[in-house]
Structure 1
Amino acid sequence: MKKKEILKTIIREFHASEIPSLVKRDVEVPIASGKIISIIGPRRSGKTYFLYQLISTIVESTSNKENILYINFEDERLDLTTEELDLILQAYRELYPEIDLSKAFFFFDEIQNVNGWEKFIRRIYDSITKNIFITGSNSKMLGDEIATSLRGRTLKYKILPLSFKEFLSFKKFKITLPQDFYDSKIKAKVINLFKEYMLWGGFPEIIFQPESIKMRILQEYFDVMIYRDLIERYSIKDTFVLKYFIKRVAETVSKSLSINKIYNEIKSHGLKVGKNILYEFLEYLENAFLIRKIKKKSHSVLRSEFSDRKAYFIDNGILIAINVFEGQDYGILLENLIFRELYRKSKNLFFHKEKKECDFILEDSFPIQVCFDFSDPAVKKREIKGLVECCRRFNFKKGLIITFDEEDVLNVNGYTFTVVPAYKWLLKKSVN
């Protein structure tokens, strides 16, 4: 079958199919902005279903599904080159010659799979319709690089694995804040659901699976990310070194990441790899939405730029899939989870490390410590000292301590530190 006929089949299949039932995500995207909407995030985080959410909204208002062109570039029947992308428009026009394309809505899922896609999108935007929505699982291709190829024409949105609030919605668990936290039965249920969320993460597909299946699905996700988003995309030959590197990055979550240390470890095993290759691996991991890095905060922008980094994973499910924990290290899982939420809500995130340490700093706002068990006197003393040093260094007046289930307000040396359980903090609209 010719490619144009295949495209017609794919387009008609979409129009004949029912839009799946959806749980609404907490991301607001304008339908008619006059801009190209780019939706980025890790694989399996729900980007396709979010497109369905937008499509459903359009269909409800127009009652015309044929006015929507949806193409998923991960469909195995498609193998389009840059030059063949125009076949999509030809197929759609031939199927629906009566449709005014300037009023049509174009949805292109994982379009990054086709080299040179930017020029195709630019041509559609300039000459056909402004109603364009694209998704991708590579933050560089649909993030940094889109700014140069489609300057001023895009709005970017992130779809990450489920937030805790979205997780509860998927579970059909409704909670009224703050009243329901005074009901011991509801509170106990929230805590149990939070434990599940903290341990397994928020990838939508695993929510209703038994634990044995959850692990298999997460490991499959991880393998796909490794092979499709790293090994294939960047033509990586030494897969053993790559996997070892990823495991070591996972083992340093919550600590400063030392590429030099990992390089020396690899070298000591008799393996040959350049240090620059490891830095490239780190960039690839970030491009594939496996990790995100944060810098050490400094009054000097230059010093901060060349400072230590800490790396966190985009979802706890990936950490579990990598299987770096000998036991259930809830402290690391909680800190990684809090990072994910801060990353979702805030753009500028740092950490503090001098004589003492502070886990996170929201720029020009306040510091945050994450402590699973705040009842241990030695741990409590250490966490507070880190906050006090950070407040003095950057002239903050208040700080936040996020725990598993402890709550308090502390006044220390003129600073106010609010202690809040993670499950309560995650359900707040703001981060403070």
Structure 2
Amino acid sequence: MITRKNYLAAIIPFIDTELIKVMTGVRRSGKSIMLEVIQDYLRVKGIKEEQFIRINFEELFFEQYLDYHALNDYIEEKIANMHGKAYIFLDEIQEVDQFEKVINSLRATHKEQVDIYITGSNAKLLSGELATLISGRYVQFDIYPFKFSEYVEGRRSIGDTRNDQALFQAYLVEGGMPFPVFQNFHYRDRLNYLSDVYNSIMLKDIIERETIREPEILRRLLNYVLGNIGRTFSAHSVTKYFKNEGLKVSPTTILNYLGFATDAYAIIPLRRYDIQGKRFLASQEKYYVVDHGLRQAIIGRNEEDIELILENIVLLELMARGYDVSVGKTNHFEVDFIAKRQLETRIDCKYIQVSYLLASPETRAREFRPLKEIADNYEKLVLTLDSFTSDLDGIAHVNLIEWLLAEEV
């Protein structure tokens, strides 16, 4: 099993505390795997198997507990017959209407005698009554599909002997959704699985949850986003695109649908930040996809649009490493990513440009130029697939695959 070290390291300090551990992320991104990783960690620490209460609400067996009263009775009976602390793992909890009442009751009734872990596939999981009931008593972790190093670990665990370069070529089109990583599927079978996952996200997490009245508009909008990841656009520009397609869609509807897809973790919006003015800009976000394999399954072209896909891969890597990410704007140019996180004693900040290859002096100058405009002393990186790299004026030029595989503290 993949240990998902970044996430486990972030979660460990909160194990055996009264804080409810909430793991959110897109459907099939590996939240269930994280619950298994935590259970393995607890077993090593001496916790007995019978202390675990595990429920996956997507399994038919547990359909009878989708009523919150039935769920509460089931868990309370388990706790009553248990010796020692109860470790409760509730997977895809959003399937239970008013689940927050169960969570709050367990926390209030049993206090330090329970350790609760829940997962869900919607960002609104903590925006309603649950957030009110347990305000200040939970900690949230966003779980993303496998980053490249985890993809490599998974493929090697089933005997894949390809070198890192060949595995990266596969990762470019397959993405990091966990299940197919551990299968020796043919290419078409992988895409069929990813297409099914995408359709499930569309139907269960957006159309049904948000009661979408025009699912065809949603489908076309998300296809537009997938085709334009990493490019700046506005709701008004998308409205004009639909008008040219013979469809009348308001900017408000566009923004609502983008918000629903964001809440379902299908897409990731990035705000633009004026580095000199030290402020976020009010318009024209960029959007990325939560897994580039989903893009390949729906519209294809990952290898043709390699510059965009490399950006998407770098973004997911940065978020998995715990960075808050935005798009940078200097006086005259744009910086692909500003990545910032708070460490114990300092702020870790990076400015990053991503390119396929620096094939000419003109390309090299273009990629380094925006970083040269930034006056502060934070780390500046140009990430490319060049085999041979050369730094310039304090700006590091790093091979992208090596950067993805490097351990970062």
The TM-score normalised by the length of structure 1 is: 0.82
| Residue 99 (str. 1) matches residue 82 (str. 2) | yes
Tell me what 2:335 maps to.
358
Residues 292, 116 of structure 1: CA spacing in aligned structure 2 closer, same or farther, 3 A cutoff?
A: same
Shift of 1:116: 1.6
- The whole-number CA distance in structure 2 between the counterparts of 1:397 and 1:39 is 31
Shift of 1:269: 3.2
Tell me what 2:167 maps to.
193
1:307-322 matched pairs, under 5 angstroms: 307-322=283-298
SS at match of 1:44: coil
Structure 2 residue identity aligned to 1:195 = Q
* Structure 2, unpaired ranges of 5+: 341-346
- Of the candidates 92, 98, 102, which is equivalent to residue 120 of structure 1? 102
Shift of 1:352: 2.5
1:257-336 matched pairs, under 5 angstroms: 257-298=233-274, 304-325=280-301, 328-336=304-312
Kept after mapping to 2: 8 A contact 1:374/1:406 = no
Shift of 1:396: 4.3
- The whole-number CA distance in structure 1 between the counterparts of 2:16 and 2:219 is 43
SS at match of 1:24: coil
Tell me what 1:70 maps to.
54
After superposition, give the CA deviation of every residue in 1:307-341 in whole Å (9 maximum; x if it has no partner): 32111111111221221528632211111100111
Structure 1 residue identity aligned to 2:33 = Y
Kept after mapping to 1: 8 A contact 2:172/2:303 = no
SS at match of 1:410: coil
1:159-170 matched pairs, under 5 angstroms: 159-170=143-154
1:10-409 matched pairs, under 5 angstroms: 22-26=1-5, 27-28=7-8, 29-30=11-12, 31-62=15-46, 64-79=48-63, 84-94=67-77, 97-100=80-83, 103-128=85-110, 129-142=113-126, 147-172=131-156, 189-207=163-181, 208=183, 209-298=185-274, 304-325=280-301, 328-353=304-329, 354-363=331-340, 365-389=349-373, 391-392=374-375, 395-396=376-377, 398-409=379-390
Shift of 1:221: 0.8
- The whole-number CA distance in structure 1 between the counterparts of 2:107 and 2:276 is 41
- The whole-number CA distance in structure 2 between the counterparts of 1:359 and 1:280 is 26
Rg larger in structure: 1
Shift of 1:79: 4.5
After superposition, give the CA deviation of every residue in 1:175-208 in whole Å (9 maximum; x if it has no partner): xxxxxxxxxxx9x811111221222111111123
Kept after mapping to 2: 8 A contact 1:230/1:236 = yes
Kept after mapping to 2: 8 A contact 1:407/1:419 = no
- The whole-number CA distance in structure 2 between the counterparts of 1:326 and 1:167 is 17
Tell me what 1:16 maps to.
none
- The whole-number CA distance in structure 1 between the counterparts of 2:79 and 2:132 is 34
* Structure 1, unpaired ranges of 5+: 1-21, 175-185
Kept after mapping to 1: 8 A contact 2:261/2:267 = yes
Aligned-residue Cα RMSD (Å) equals: 2.7
Number of residue pairs matched by the alignment: 390
After superposition, give the CA deviation of every residue in 1:134-179 in whole Å (9 maximum; x if it has no partner): 00111221478754442111111222111222122212379xxxxx
Kept after mapping to 1: 8 A contact 2:385/2:399 = yes
- The whole-number CA distance in structure 1 between the counterparts of 2:129 and 2:291 is 24
Residues 49, 223 of structure 1: CA spacing in aligned structure 2 closer, same or farther, 3 A cutoff?
A: same
- The whole-number CA distance in structure 1 between the counterparts of 2:75 and 2:355 is 55
Structure 1 residue identity aligned to 2:95 = N
- The whole-number CA distance in structure 2 between the counterparts of 1:287 and 1:125 is 26
SS at match of 2:212: coil
SS at match of 2:367: helix
Which deviates the most, 54-63 or 287-296?
Answer: 54-63
- The whole-number CA distance in structure 2 between the counterparts of 1:196 and 1:304 is 36
Kept after mapping to 2: 8 A contact 1:405/1:421 = yes
The TM-score normalised by the length of structure 2 is: 0.87
Kept after mapping to 2: 8 A contact 1:409/1:417 = no
SS at match of 2:18: coil
Shift of 1:98: 3.4
- The whole-number CA distance in structure 2 between the counterparts of 1:355 and 1:346 is 29
Which deviates the most, 143-152 or 210-219?
Answer: 143-152
- The whole-number CA distance in structure 1 between the counterparts of 2:226 and 2:54 is 37
After superposition, give the CA deviation of every residue in 1:273-328 in whole Å (9 maximum; x if it has no partner): 22111101111111111111111112598951513211111111122122152863
